[in-house]
Amino acid sequence: MAVITLFLTNPSKEDYEVIFVHPHVKTAENLNKHYQLEHINFFLFSTYTPIVAEEYGKTRLGILGNFFTISDGQFDYPKWLKLFN
């Protein structure tokens, strides 16, 4: 039952962008050239890391419909996530 709950509440990329990417910033043409969102889906949970101008932002863990910060960004990219890139 826990696995089904985790799978069904795994937040999507759109869920992340609604909370962390301001609507007027997302549509800015200049940002779209330099913005990427690294999304790694583990099916029961996901990780999201914004990349702006080749600099990593805060990595957030999406689980049970919530987001939790797991890195401070830039030089604190979680080493274990590099295995999945």
Residue with the larger pLDDT of the pair 38 and 29:
38
pLDDT digits (tens, 9 = 90+) for 34-58: 788 889 999 999 999 988 878 888 9
Residue 64 pLDDT exceeds 90 = yes
* Beta bridge partners of residue 47, listed in sequence order: 40, 61
Domain boundaries, the chain: 2-84
> pTM of the full predicted structure?
0.80
